[in-house]
Amino acid sequence: MKLPVSKIITREMGMTFNKYFLKDGDATYENRKELCNDCEYYSSVVKICEKCHCFIPMKMRLAWQSCPIDKWKATKDEPIDPETGAHYIDQKYYALENA
């Protein structure tokens, strides 16, 4: 049985990118959460930033993401596949979608 792409990506991201995800209690995450919750562009009903249109509960946890109006910065570079030099998430998603 072939697993759905979303499940494969989620599993791989969990194993590969654990160091790139900010967790509850992490000072950077808590700071981002506070800044976003107080931001005029944050829609608390749908949890979307009206400036970048991202789903904020996820974006706040990704260390390589930054705020579109510079309220918070990325703390790590986006993960790159050492073999190809490509952005790892995009490359894995493309490979799985076209398998």
64 and 99 assigned to the same domain:
no
Condensed to tens digits (0 to 9), the pLDDT of residues 32-87 reads: 999 999 999 999 999 999 999 999 999 998 888 999 999 999 988 777 666 776 66
54 and 32 assigned to the same domain:
yes
Count of structural domains, the chain: 2
Contacts of 82 (CB under 8 A, 6+ apart): none
12 and 43 assigned to the same domain:
no
10 and 26 assigned to the same domain:
no
pLDDT band at 99 (very low <50, low <70, confident <90, very high): low
Q: Look at residues 93, 99, 98 and name the one whose alpha carbon lies nearest to residue 8.
A: 93
DSSP class per residue in 14-50: HHHSGGGB--TT-HHHHHHHHHHHT-TTEETTTTEET
50 and 61 assigned to the same domain:
yes
41 and 61 assigned to the same domain:
yes
25 and 66 assigned to the same domain:
yes
Q: Are 90 and 17 in contact (CB under 8 A)?
A: no
Residue reference for tokens 């209690």: 25
56 and 95 assigned to the same domain:
no
12 and 25 assigned to the same domain:
no
Domain membership of residue 84 as a residue range: 1-17+79-99
pLDDT of residue 93: 47
